[in-house]
Amino acid sequence: MMVFQACLDGLLYSGLYIMLGLGFFLTFSVLRRVDLSFGTVIMVSIYLASMAVSPSRFNILALLLSCLTAIIIGFFVGSICFGLVRGDPRNSMAATLGVWMALEELIIQLPGHGRGQFVENFLSNQGLNWIPSLRFDHTIIFFLAITTAFGLYLFLRYTKIGLAIRTLAFDPDTAALMGISRKIIVIIATSIAAAIGALAGYLFAMTQHGIDAHFGMWVTIKGLVILFISGATSIFGIIFAALILGIGERLLTELFGTTFRELIGMTLMCLIIAFIMGNNKKYRI
């Protein structure tokens, strides 16, 4: 029963991880760069949106606003760190590190909000009638994540923009020969990634009744973990990696406690990367 409950709880995390992983996946596939500021941008957007909307308690607006803010901030950060910073990919990574540090510190120093920001849960946290151990909000979030992943899959598979994104991710030279504008595709892909990331971040903040200033770091680390466990080759890989991580983490927490969850999780990840992955792969979507 304990294992069953852990798996159910793990599904919530898996849902959130799916969305975070998808965000990272889109950015990484199109840009071929690691965006260390991804989580911080999401955190800042949630902070700003919930601060602006919380007095009115119109929480769905806060959710939409956080997605919009993430797109805007993400656009500026992307334009500077990936558009203007040239040369070695490590330079862009270092630039996003600078953005991460600056934004995180700004949030820490935000008067009255440095310690955390309350985010109201507008979904019911009661158990479902037919499975009392499964919370309503967790179920909604999981299905939202699956819908998002499926929607993204259809978008990438059956639309012209999706084809352009896939081509750019597979081979930038071919994309250029086909007349695909890298700039526009990068803007579209990073905007979608920021929106999906903000959606995941806001829903997580909602279930936890708030976030603190280190939330950005957590998002970035988890996103990277999912990206690299999945191999960054397909949406289904991301879903699979997120399910393993989410359910695995909850099971490990139940069996060994929080401390060993992180330890075993990270060691496993290290081993997976070291012994299973590591070959140069073409990034396909």
Q: How far apart are CA 101 and CA 40, in angstroms?
A: 9
> CA-CA distance, 253 to 249, in Å (whole number)?
6
- DSSP, collapsed to helix, strand or coil, labels residue 255 as helix
Residue 54, both tokens: 């919380």
| Interaction between residue 269 and another protein (CB under 8 A) | yes
Nearer to another protein, 56 or 279 (CB): 279
- Which residue has 């905007």 as its token pair? 191
Count of CB atoms situated within 10 Å of the CB of 173: 7
| Chain CA centroid to CA 81, Å | 19
- Smallest separation (angstroms) from another protein to the CB of 154: 28
Which residues in 11-50 contact another protein (CB under 8 A)?
A: 34, 36
Write the interaction track for another protein spanning residues 191-220; mark x where CB under 8 A is met and - where it is not: --------------------------x---
Q: Does 95 bind another protein (CB under 8 A)?
A: yes
Of 85-93, 166-174, 186-194, 234-242: span binding another protein (CB under 8 A): 85-93
Interatomic CA distance for residues 67 and 50, integer angstroms: 11
With contacts defined by CB under 8 A, how many residues of the chain interact with another protein? 45
Two tokens, residue 138: 């967790």
Among 7, 106, 144, 163, binds another protein (CB under 8 A): 106
**CA–CA distance, 22 with 144 (Å, rounded to integer):** 13
273 touching another protein, by CB under 8 A: yes
- Cα→Cα distances 63→66, 92, 108, 222, Å: 5, 29, 22, 21
Show the binding pattern over residues 235-264: x = contacts another protein (CB under 8 A), - = does not: ------------------------xx-xx-
- How far apart CA 20 and CA 197 sit, in angstroms, is 5
Q: Tokens 């598979």 belong to which residue?
A: 157
Nearer to another protein by Cβ, of 188 and 269: the residue is: 269
87 binds another protein (CB under 8 A): yes
Binding of another protein by 8 (CB under 8 A)? no
Among the listed residues 109, 124, 181, 208, the single contact to another protein using CB under 8 A: 109
Of 34 and 199, nearer to another protein (C-beta) is 34
HSE-CB for 21 with a 13 A CA cutoff: 31
Q: How far is the CB of 115 from another protein (least distance, A)?
A: 16
* Residues at the contact surface with another protein, assessed by CB under 8 A: 34, 36, 80-81, 84-88, 90-92, 94-95, 97-103, 105-106, 109, 217, 221, 224-225, 228, 259-260, 262-263, 266-267, 269-271, 273-275, 277-280
